[in-house]
Amino acid sequence: MDRFAYILRRLVQAVPVVLGVTVLCFFMIHLVPGDPARTMLGVHATPKKIALLHHEWGLDRSLPAQYELFMKRLVHGNLGESLFYNVSAWSLISGRLPVTLWLIGYGTLLSILIAIPLAVLAASRKDGARDQVVRAVPLVGLGFPPFWLGIMLLLAFGLHLGRLFPVGGYGTGVTGHLHAMFLPALTVALGIAPILIRSLRASLLQVLESDYITTARSKGISETRVLLRHALRNAVVSTVSVLGVNIGFLVGGTVIIEQVFALPGIGQLMLNSILQRDFPVVQGVTLVFGIMVVFVYLATDILHSLLDPRVRFD
Amino acid sequence: MTIAVAEGIADALATEHRSGFRRRWYRTPAFVAGILIVGTVIAVAIAAPLLTSYSPNQQDLNHVLQGPSSKHWLGTDQLGRDEFSRLLYGARVDLRVAFLAVLFPFCLGTFLGCIAGYYGRFLDTIIMRLVDIVVAFPFYVLIIALVFVLGPGARSIYIAITLVGWVSYARIIRGEILVAKRQEYVLAAQAAGFRDLRIIARHLLPNVITQAIVFAMSDIVLDILAIVTLGYLGLGIQPPTPDWGGMIADGQAFLTTKWELSTIPGVAVILTALGLSLIGDGLADLLRPE
Amino acid sequence: MTDTPILDVRDLRVDIPLSRGTVHAVDGASFALRPGEALGLVGESGSGKSMTLRAILGLLPNPGRIVSGEVLFEGQDLASASAGRLREVRGASIGMIFQEPMTALNPVMRVGDQIAEGPLAHLGQSRSQARARALELMRKVGIPDPERRSHAYPHELSGGMRQRVMIAIALACEPRLMLCDEPTTALDVTIQDQILKLLLAMRRDFGVSVVFVTHDLAVVAQTCERVAVMYAGQVVETGTVEEVFRAPRHPYTLGLLRSVPRFDLKRQSLDSIPGQPPDLVLPPPGCRFHPRCRFAQDDCLTGEFPLRPLGAGSGRATACIHDDVCVADVSRNPVIANA
């Protein structure tokens, strides 16, 4: 019951942040130098069209009134209409959202599968050969531009080496998705794995100095069990927050990865809309991204409280 | 106690925090390696006109997509431009933009962090709420959106990165100040009646700035990656100005025939980033109080 | 009951290499324990008593290692045993209790599971069997309402409860030897007494031999038959509690005994041992206690002073070459009134 109240409270706390996100998005339109309507219309600008857009966007009203309009529309799920496609921005977004969600989920899973064994390997024998190698990974790995890594993976596994994976696209059906999205998910995973490894290794090393590890060893259980059931289980508690922050980062990274692998997700939608100057869609996607991240952090907090029984709910 | 004496004591206590940095730096191999790498990259970038006779934008449509030769050390791209010169001049652009792009958030973030940490309460709440909101956005999404709104080019990059990047510095500085302002030398300075600005600038800042400097090193890496990524997406440094990201984008169409076009600039980024990371790690080690 | 010791530590030396120098945490520790006995290992903080205990099971903190000596458990040397052999012995044959129950228990694991872990690994029991055993042990160590408590996490229990859990963990596989590292030091005085009584009861019920590390002489007097006194990494005196407390033969032991507040004796002042324990990286030459010793003489300043048996096979030994001076001092000024 306590936990439920805690989750509720965190949800409530997230509201002001979400509101802030909307305000920021709202102000985007006002950051555009010059007249946003004229800029959006580009070569198609005529005084009549400009006035029409002004009216539609409520730019002919006062600022607070505009925000009110914005929020009113938002609450009804109206993110505006695409200038390019003449359909609601939301329909464009919702159609492509699953792809991006797949990419994020798949990528996160892979990154955990990569990071945990490497970190455990490194921490189990500190300063040993394996440790040195694993420590070099974040050092070099953090300098890899994710999109370049994606291209290299494409080159290696998509074009050469037996053409194992498709060069682009989403695939059909669950196994189709898993197959087609493997390279992009791997790119995403390799992007955040270095930070996870570094953080988890540090956590593990600290945990391994704890008294309860000595107690565990004094029971005569296998070293594997000590590492996994005692050390790792405690180390992940602090790594969860790092993972959360990184998923936030990862969400943004999908924009680029989708571009490299031609995945029809909302990231690619955003980039195309930018090139087409389809402002409402850009604004809508930014908003969706912002809200996604807020929920990722929320989920991280909840996961943390599930993993650590010492978290107090008051 | 006279003001001068009190000031002297406060000063003396404040400087105690400076660590024995100088004696150890050359004995840390990682740090030295980092300096060597970055130094080489910078030197090569500065010496670009000396190292190559080609202009990076010089097209030669008779010699497109050529392999390495004695005339073109790294070959040519799809417009016949010399890859090697593009690489070197690209280094100039990317490095300059990156170094500047880390400076602005550093200053803004440090300033806001000082205020939030020192004055606390209302100002602190506002600034930290702002932090929460900015942090709520995925870094790249915000940068891309801002660059979109402001138009592509280096100026937008500076603005976008500053508006998004100040957050980490503010957090770090605020955290350090919250701890440091309880220290005795601050209380001594406050008791002596110094103005807040003086206390912050002369006494608190020198001691808390080290963490921000260490972070700045990994931040430069992030900024280089951001600049290169924006270049790849066509949103950053605009052609024909050479930029490593743009070069990788150009090369992607020719992956099957001339994969070096995309690979080599990437390697350049990785090397530069590695050097900066080594410096950053070494700095963190050296500046850590014993 | 045979006379061969269940535990025979012979000239154990433990080094801990640190950046500022190598700490000789244990530099010649020797003592023996007969089956069914309880031995108190006493000394100040930093005397090496905890390290000695940990060395027995090979649980030294990371840079530490045994450099020489033997640890004979039932005739087998543990100091040179393989990791696999050590793991067999731990928990199953030798159990250990630690000082700080808050940090010595895994914070994210339920206490019932922590108790059941040993039997699960060593006794080949199924999960439900091990769990039942854990509940049984919890009852034995006096934890009320074990069914409910076994689902608790360590931070939800009081200090005394946590220590009982630790004891249950140590006894889970019915070991023959129990090593206790200051199990009551971190507890309230009232709880201390309860835990001590519990340990005594467990000793009786399970028939384990015990090594009891503590700095509290009163506890040793209450619970142990034998005692070994440590100073600066060395065992300086051994014997039965009766022998050592009534007639100590080392100035350090004498000093310790004299500095214990005795409320049943009227005394003018509280004697304490002047000075500080030495730095174990660079200990003083000769007898390590000589800088603080009232009876120090010139020949105490150089040379080695290993434990010297007094009388054959009795386990009575001292490292002091002038123990007769101690004897004389005690006969003038008894430590324990005829009680």
**How far apart are alpha carbons A119 and C125 in whole angstroms?**
32
Q: Which of A194-203, A259-268, A274-283, B221-230 has the lowest mean pLDDT?
A: A274-283
- What pLDDT is recorded for position C70? 92
In this prediction, residue A233 carries a pLDDT of 93
Window A:4-23, CB contacts with B under 8 Å:
16-18, 20-21, 23
Mean pLDDT comparison of A15-29, A218-232, B141-155, C291-305, highest-scoring range: A218-232
Query: What would the pLDDT profile of C249-284 be if each residue is shown by its tens digit?
Result: 888 888 888 887 766 656 555 677 888 888 888 888
**pLDDT band at A20; cut points 50, 70, 90:** confident
Region A165-170: what's the mean pLDDT?
Answer: 64
B134, closest residue in chain A (CA to CA)? A21
Res. B132: pLDDT tops 70: yes
Mean model confidence pLDDT for chain A: 82
pLDDT score of C175: 92
pLDDT attached to residue B18: 44
**Size (chain C), residues:** 339
Proportion of chain C above pLDDT 90, given as a percent: 38
CB pair distance less than 8 Å for A212 and C117: no
Characterise C233 by phi-psi region: left (phi > 0), alpha (psi -120 to 50), beta (else): left
Overall average pLDDT of the A96-100 stretch: 89
Give residue C130's identity as a one-letter amino acid code: A
Q: Please, what's the b/e burial string for C324-335 (b: 16 or more CB within 10 A of its CB; e: otherwise)?
A: ebbeebbeeeeb
Residue B256 contacts residue A160 (beta carbons within 8 Å): no
Q: How far apart are CA C273 and CA C327, in angstroms?
A: 18
Residue B288: which pLDDT band, with cuts at 50, 70 and 90?
low
Mean pLDDT (chain B) is 80
Per-residue pLDDT for C55 more than 80?
yes
Residues in contact with C131: Cβ distance below 8 Å, sequence separation at least 6, in sequence order: C112, C116, C150
Check residue C268 and give its pLDDT: 55
Q: Do B144 and A20 touch (CB under 8 A)?
A: no
pLDDT at A232 over 90: yes
Spatial distance between the Cα atoms of C64 and C162, rounded to a whole number of angstroms: 28
Per DSSP, what are the bridge partners of residue C71?
A: C9
End-to-end CA separation in angstroms for chain A: 12
Instruction: Indicate the range of A53-57, A165-169, C21-25 predicted with least confidence.
Output: A165-169
pLDDT surpassing 70 at residue B202: yes
Of all residues in chain B, the one with the smallest CA distance to A137 is: B274
Give residues 257 to 296 of A whose Cβ lies within 8 Å of C. Answer: none
Any C CB within 8 A of A312 CB? no
**Cα–Cα distance, B95 to B101 (Å, whole number):** 10
- Cβ(B200)–Cβ(B114) below 8 Å: yes
Mean pLDDT of chain C: 87
Q: Is the pLDDT of residue A173 over 70?
A: yes
CA C291, C292, C298, C299 torsion: positive or negative?
negative
Give C155 or B71, the one with higher predicted confidence: C155
> Contact, A287 vs A79, CB < 8 A?
yes
* Selected residue of A286, A288, A296, A301 to mutate for chain B interface (largest B Cβ count, 10 A): A286
* pLDDT at residue C339 tops 50: no
For residue A216, give how far its alpha carbon lies from the nearest alpha carbon of chain B (Å): 32
Which residues of B are less than 8 Å from A100 in CB distance? none
pLDDT of residue C51: 92
| Residues A310/C153, Cβ–Cβ less than 8 Å | yes
Q: Say if residue C3's pLDDT is above 80.
A: no
Output the pLDDT for position C265: 58
